[in-house]
Amino acid sequence: QLVKRAEEIVKEGYNILVLSDRNASKNDIPIPALLAVSAVHHALIDSGLRTEVGLVVETGSARTIHHFALLGGYGAEAINPYLAFDTIESLWPELPEAVAPDKAERRFIKAINKGMLKVMSKMGISTFQSYCGAQIFEAIGLNKAFIQEYFAGTATRIEGIGIREIAEEALR
C-alpha cells in the first residue's frame, strides 16, 4: 500500500515525499524506515518516477551514523531524526556543559555530517548526491527473496530472515 500510494502521489504532481513514522502507536506499527525508503525508492525507479520526487524520511529510528548511511544509501535525500532531537532536548538540563538546546542539536547534526563524510570518503564518494541511492552495501542475514523484492541489486551471501520475521519483530 505504501508503494502504491507513493506512486499515486508522484503522479498527482507532488515533488517531495515524506515517509514518516512519527504517528506510530501500539495500534499503528510503522514499517521499519530503511525497508520503507528502499521499497519506495525501487518502486519509483521501476515505474520511471524516481527523478520526479525527493524522498524525505522522518523517523525515530535514525540515531547513529550507520542508520543515516543506510537511509541515504537506499534513497533518502533528507532525514529528520525527530526522536534524537527530542532526546537531546529532554537531556539538555543534564548536559555537563551549559549549551543551548539548539546548539546541542547543531552539534549532533555536525557529528552526523562528519560521520557521513567519513563513510563516503572511505568508499571514494565525495558528494551526498553521488551517495544517495547508490546502495553500496552487502546484506547479511536477510534472505534472497526479501532482498530481491525490497533491496534490489544488493549483494547477499549469508541468508537469514525475511519479511515475516521483520514484521514479527516490528510487532514485538
Please tell me the predicted confidence (pLDDT) of residue 112. Answer: 97
Q: pLDDT value at position 49?
A: 97
Q: Rounded CA gap, 161 and 142, in Å? A: 5
Identify the pLDDT of residue 98. Answer: 78
pLDDT confidence of residue 26? 87
**Residue 108 near residue 127, CB atoms below 8 Å:** no
pLDDT at 73: 96
pLDDT confidence of residue 46? 96
**CA-angle at 50, arms to 56 and 47, nearest 5°:** 130
pLDDT score of 164:
96
Residues of the chain with pLDDT under 50: none
- 59, 37 in Cβ contact below 8 A? no
